[in-house]
A and B are shown apart, each in its own frame.
Chain A
Amino acid sequence: MAELLRIATAGSVDDGKSTLIGRLLWDAKSIFEDQWEAIERSSVQRGDDYTNLALLTDGLRAEREQGITIDVAYRYFATPRRTFILADTPGHLQYTRNMVTGASTADVAIVLVDARHGIVEQSRRHAFLASLLRVQHIVLAVNKIDLVQFSEDVFRRLELEFRALTARLDVPDVTAIPVSALHGDNVVTRSDRTPWYGGPALLEHLETLDVVADRNLDDARFPVQYVIRPMSAAHPDYRGYAGQVASGVLRPGDDVEVLPSGRRTTIAGIDTFDGPVDAAYPPMSVTIRLADDVDVSRGDLVVAAGSRPTVSQDLVATVCWMSDEPLRPGTRLAVKHTTRTAKAVVKEIGERLDVTTFETGAAAELHLNEIAQVTLRTALPLCYDDYRRNRATGAFILIDEATGATVAAGMVGSSIVRALAGA
């Protein structure tokens, strides 16, 4: 059966993102006739002189009325080879917050540019945020190639400029594709109007992109989510630890360590409703049984013996701030990291990064949509890895306990801020 690919798209207003998504969905037969008729009707009402595919993605009334996209929208389509989840992130309002959200789960990011305008400020931000969130594959879609007479020169120039940028950002895989979203060139099928382009059409590229190797299969990490104890006649003594494998491979018989206590034991068995399994790997949801009666509860991390993450109450991370209230040293928050939630206090705000110029500088506080290196002290020890090595055990969110709002996305480590600062 087909596997799943998660995509995040980003582009500035009017680059043609809605048109591109509409075309992908339409050609993958994921737009239905009644949806099409509804947007045709609305387009006529609004006085648009073409069927406005953006209406398809603008789901909220305020969005349709104001003709803008406010929030991340998720789209679904499938081809015989793969199924796709597309996080469509608006390019202007709240772009950092939305893009970070969309990219947090993405395997691949599509950065759309208008061939006439080239790599603009927004494109640089999008590429940066995708790399910050450790999206390993970026596609540069050079759109409206028809409006530059299908010029190879224009395309190559933009490709070169973009590659220089992403090399600095340490993105492992970059593909550039010349497209016309409006006319369909190189979207679903290769175009004969770009004979100089030897690569795949966009959909073809998405269908064949190899992402299985992107997962960390080396460091076994299993955050305990929930303890299963049926206490029933059929299973009087059953005690299983339920969770989703974060990284690595776990097998019955493996020596493991339970953190933060550091107690050692072995895996007695790995259960699922459909029967026991002999290997559990990300992102499988399973239940593991341990050989010894050690004390394990929600928030603990089971790891392969000899493959310890950092266990500490001190944490240095790159934080993207998402609240109107600024973050200051001394601010108290809750941190949710894997399955553990703990109180935390901000010790220090370090270098702040300008996501447009990539320049860094000292900051006293952090404002909405800003990114900086932040030092936290937590009330409980967290078991974490560097985000760049492990997306699952390197990520956390910050919650304002008074309002309940999610106020920040955090990534353990500060390598990207420092890399850019040193570059």
Chain B
Amino acid sequence: MTTVLEPARATDAAAYHLSHLHLLESEAIHIMREVAAEFERPALLFSGGKDSIVMLRIAQKAFWPARIPFPLMHVDTGHNFPEVIDYRDRRVAELQARLVVASVQESIDTGRVREQTGPRASRNQLQTITLLDGIEANRFDAVFGGARRDEEKARAKERVFSFRDEFGQWDPKNQRPELWNLYNGKHRQGEHIRVFPLSNWTELDIWQYIARERVEIPSIYYAHRREVFARDGMLLAVSPYVTVLDGEEPFEATVRYRTVGDASCTGAVVSDAATVEDVIAEVAATRITERGATRADDKVSEAAMEDRKREGYF
């Protein structure tokens, strides 16, 4: 018979307690440090959206008191909310970080992609090419993304270290098993790994963390007055990037954004939530997913996200 070792129990185990946010933060820091240690040219996708803001905050913590040891990359659709670009630039300056901008406009100008036409044209699809070109041009071998598994069904099956072939594609049926906290970053030249340190966070966790950390976020996440119109069950902002169709009546409303994407396809929700605490209360009570509520791009089909991800989307 063998003796099975039993770990002796420390009697004061309960004293060594961590809150769930602390646990999630600690896991995300661990992931970022693994990447910084094992890859030559990582980059962090920073859009000014709340998930990337949290990711950036965690990067700041992971390497403190040193600066973040990799650049940030913004895939700029050109259809921006000015508040978000303003926020991005301030944050980059504060952290003395390096920002790489991959521009969809440039991809259009150089003929890499063709702009969609018509009133429902969106640059969302085009971003994938710009992103992959940006990764290739900068020879990034690991790219941090702020995606969470609770966002969407295809994402629920994504690894923390998600392997991409030389075409940037994701093969959901051929993923590496991911065990314990032992991440496999093995890749060949031209291939890269997408890394999702916030995989295990929910929308509510993100907001609670923003509140706990008192990090500033762009003002459009809070209730404000804006001219909007209804389309496909969502409220889109009147902006130079969308054509209001006949029968679509613009009106002013108090709204806020739950996600920040391309201004042409990101919807606002009617809300009075003016502070982070209000938002938390609202999110906790909400019965519709953030993507369902505010992203026209995911409504196309049940597999819309999976298809875009296969091609190399965020």
Q: Using a CB–CB distance below 8 Å, which chain A residues touch chain B?
A: 1-4, 29, 32-35, 38, 42, 56-62, 64, 70-76, 78, 82-83, 85, 97-98, 100-101, 104-105, 170, 212-213, 215-219, 225-226, 228-232, 234-235, 238, 242-244, 249, 271-274, 279, 281-285, 287, 298, 322, 334, 336-337, 339, 386, 388-392, 395-397, 399, 401, 404-406, 409, 415, 418-419, 422
CA of A388 to CA of B4 in the docked complex: distance in angstroms?
7
Q: Which residue on A lies nearest to B22, using beta carbons? A: A284
B60 at interface (Cβ–Cβ under 8 A)?
yes
In the complex, besides A170-B4, A225-B30, A283-B181, 8 extra interface pairs with C-beta distance below 8 angstroms are A4-B24, A60-B157, A72-B157, A73-B157, A216-B7, A218-B8, A228-B64, A232-B65
- Report whether A1 and B186 are in contact in the complex, using a CB–CB cutoff of 8 Å: no
- Report whether B21 and A1 are in contact in the complex, using a CB–CB cutoff of 8 Å: yes
21 A-B residue pairs with CB within 8 Å: A59-B155, A59-B157, A73-B156, A76-B150, A97-B177, A100-B177, A217-B13, A218-B10, A226-B37, A229-B66, A231-B66, A232-B66, A271-B64, A272-B64, A274-B61, A389-B7, A392-B181, A401-B186, A406-B179, A409-B177, A415-B4
B46 at interface (Cβ–Cβ under 8 A)?
no
Q: Which residues of A contact B180 (CB under 8 A)?
A: 104-105, 391-392, 395, 397
Q: Which residues of A contact B36 (CB under 8 A)?
A: 226
Choice from B2, B29, B66, B178 contacting A418 with Cβ under 8 Å: B2
- Report whether A386 and B179 are in contact in the complex, using a CB–CB cutoff of 8 Å: no
- Report whether A397 and B184 are in contact in the complex, using a CB–CB cutoff of 8 Å: yes
- Report whether A78 and B2 are in contact in the complex, using a CB–CB cutoff of 8 Å: no
CA of A135 to CA of B173 in the docked complex: distance in angstroms?
27
Interface centre among A4, A98, A170, A281 (most CB of B within 10 A): A4
Size of interface on B: residues with Cβ below 8 Å to A: 75
Q: Using a CB–CB distance below 8 Å, which chain B residues touch chain A?
A: 1-10, 13-14, 16-27, 29-30, 33-34, 36-37, 60-67, 149-150, 152-157, 163, 172-173, 175-182, 184, 186-188, 199-200, 202, 204-205, 286-289, 292-293, 302-303, 306
- Report whether B16 and A279 are in contact in the complex, using a CB–CB cutoff of 8 Å: yes
Q: Which residues of A contact B17 (CB under 8 A)?
A: 3, 212
- Report whether A1 and B5 are in contact in the complex, using a CB–CB cutoff of 8 Å: no
Q: Which residues of B contact A82 (CB under 8 A)?
A: 20
Interface centre among A62, A339, A392 (most CB of B within 10 A): A339
Interface centre among B173, B175, B182, B288 (most CB of A within 10 A): B182
Q: How many whole Å from B83's CB to the nearest CB in chain A?
A: 27
Q: How many whole Å from B33's CB to the nearest CB in chain A?
A: 4
CA of A415 to CA of B3 in the docked complex: distance in angstroms?
8
- Report whether A285 and B7 are in contact in the complex, using a CB–CB cutoff of 8 Å: no
Choice from A2, A271, A405 contacting B176 with Cβ under 8 Å: A405
Q: Which residues of B contact A231 (CB under 8 A)?
A: 66
Interface centre among A82, A231, A406 (most CB of B within 10 A): A406
Q: Which residues of A contact B14 (CB under 8 A)?
A: 212-213
- Report whether B4 and A419 are in contact in the complex, using a CB–CB cutoff of 8 Å: yes
- Report whether A406 and B184 are in contact in the complex, using a CB–CB cutoff of 8 Å: yes
Choice from A2, A272, A282, A418 contacting B20 with Cβ under 8 Å: A2
- Report whether B65 and A234 are in contact in the complex, using a CB–CB cutoff of 8 Å: yes
- Report whether B26 and A284 are in contact in the complex, using a CB–CB cutoff of 8 Å: yes
Q: Which residues of B contact A285 (CB under 8 A)?
A: 25-27, 29-30, 33, 62
Q: Which residues of B contact A397 (CB under 8 A)?
A: 179-180, 182, 184
- Report whether B29 and A388 are in contact in the complex, using a CB–CB cutoff of 8 Å: no
Q: Which residues of B contact A287 (CB under 8 A)?
A: 64
- Report whether A34 and B288 are in contact in the complex, using a CB–CB cutoff of 8 Å: yes
Q: Which residue on A lies nearest to B199, using beta carbons? A: A74
Q: Which residue on A lies nearest to B153, using beta carbons? A: A59
